[in-house]
Amino acid sequence: MKAGVVSCLLFFICSCNSSTKEKEQEVLALKEMSSLATVEYLVTKIIKASDNQSWYKIGDRKILMSCQASLKAGIDFSKINADKIKINGKEISLELPRAELLYINIKPEDIKVEYEETGVFRNSYSADEKNMLMAQGEKQIKSSVDSLGILQTAETNASVFVSNFLRQLGYKKINISFSSIKPAVQLK
Amino acid sequence: MRKRIQKYVLFAAGAILLIFLMQQINWLPSFSDVFKSKPVVIDKTPVLVEEINELAQLITVTSYDEVVADSVVIDPKKITLKTMPGISIYPFSPLFDRLVIIAKGKVVAGIELSSISEKDIFTSEDSASLLMPAAKILDAVINPADIETFSETGTWDNNAVTKVKIKAREKMIKRALDKGIIGKATEKGKALLENFLRSVGYKKVQVIVSG
């Protein structure tokens, strides 16, 4: 009998032991930046989903959406300082920081529902559900950044822009190199 | 008799404990999972590059914000039908369709450096002067992952949802402008360019904001 009571107690104690993680408080404010955006990639993606995995739901729901996203990449302009610059008369050498993805922008008007099919016993996708599917699409776009080659293009364009700017300032020979330190990925 | 009951209770408690432990180590699905709807996962599809644009935008200020936007659709026919006794199929459903979203996003402001031409730069020995355009809003970003649907009643088509999201974006831009994002972005841009000109060897620098 005692063992039974102990078992029950153990069961209830363990059931109540769900950990509650406190969410970190986010501060939304006006923040100063110093990024030089040098390239924009406009990409499109098809979002394809089929809701037929729950065994007790009769019928299927299919949806096909398309979206266009803008990805901007560039360099941290504040990291170009006197330590990274060598001047010899009309010759200048400078080291630029490595390019990073600045942000992704999926405009609401660039999201289109191309096709939707709903079974007789099912409700069509709600606005919230469609948004959740789009959020998955956004995640897939973010993860494809490396294969798009956007960072290499951003560095090439940064090099061209800075060269032209320095030429306009009167420098005749310009040598540009890139830092070996890769920026930490911090996409908000 | 008492011994038999004791035996059953002990057996039942043991069984419960065993099931619980098996669930904890994922050998058995939890009871709530049996009727839990499976999340809809999108298929992996390729990303197609449509356009590559060369930019020269100096992003100097970003305003991070969170706004609420909503829309209410009142259909007079629906109200008439719902208020007529005996006709309404769903007498307790709301009289109007409502969509309320909470959108988190950012407004990006900065200087369009591509508009600076050769005639805007003056140099003489150790002095440099630059005519810089004023800052402007470069982008307002509200991505799907940053949108939370707080309330949704009725049926909403894609165009109506888009309008609510655009409303949220406009609200965010207005709030950023009210906070003086343009002035701050212009000041920061000026400081960054002055610093850059000093770094590339000019002692006396002057950055003038045009317009």
**pLDDT 10s digits, A51-77:** 876 666 777 889 999 999 999 999 998
A57: number of Cβ within 10 Å: 15
A172: number of Cβ within 10 Å: 10
Structural element, H or E, at residue B5: helix B2-24
Q: Please, which residues 161-200 of chain B have a Cβ atom closer than 8 Å to chain A?
A: 161-162, 165-166, 169, 176, 179, 181, 184, 188, 192, 195-200
pLDDT band at B73 (very low <50, low <70, confident <90, very high): confident
Q: Which among A66, A153, A150 is positioned nearest to A103, based on CA atoms?
A: A150
pLDDT band at B88 (very low <50, low <70, confident <90, very high): low
Q: Which residue has the tokens 């939890």?
A: B30
Q: Supply the pLDDT for residue A18.
A: 47
Q: Which of B42, B118, B197 sits opposite A133 (nearest CB)?
A: B42
Q: What is the ipTM of this complex?
A: 0.80
**What is the residue-averaged pLDDT of chain B?**
89
Cα dihedral value A69, B152, A22, B30, nearest 10:
-100
Using an 8 Å CB-CB cutoff, list chain B residues near A105: 139, 141, 143
Q: Supply the pLDDT for residue A106.
A: 97
Structural element, H or E, at residue A131: helix A127-143
- Whether residue A4 and residue B12 make contact (CB cut-off 8 A), yes or no, is yes
What's the rounded mean pLDDT across residues B177-205?
Answer: 94
Sign of the CA dihedral running A178, A182, A183, A187: positive
Q: How far apart are CA A136 and CA B101, in angstroms?
A: 18
Distance from first CA to last CA of chain A, Å, rounded?
A: 57
Using an 8 Å CB-CB cutoff, list chain B residues near A170: 123
Q: Judging by beta carbons within 10 Å of its beta carbon (0-12, 13-18, 19+), is residue A155 exposed, middle or buried? A: buried
Which token pair is B59? 């992003």
**pLDDT 10s digits, A115-171:** 998 887 888 899 999 999 999 999 999 999 989 999 999 999 999 999 999 999 889
Q: How far apart are CA A175 and CA A159, in angstroms?
A: 9
pLDDT band at B85 (very low <50, low <70, confident <90, very high): low
Which token pair is B211? 């317009």
pLDDT band at B39 (very low <50, low <70, confident <90, very high): confident
Q: Please, which residues 96-125 of chain B have a Cβ atom closer than 8 Å to chain A?
A: 99, 104, 106, 108, 110, 113, 118, 121, 123
Which token pair is B67? 């706004």
Structural element, H or E, at residue B98: strand B97-112
Nearest chain B residue to A53, by CA: B38
B77: number of Cβ within 10 Å: 7
What's the rounded mean pLDDT across residues A33-52?
Answer: 94
| B68 half-sphere exposure, CB direction, 13 A CA radius | 4
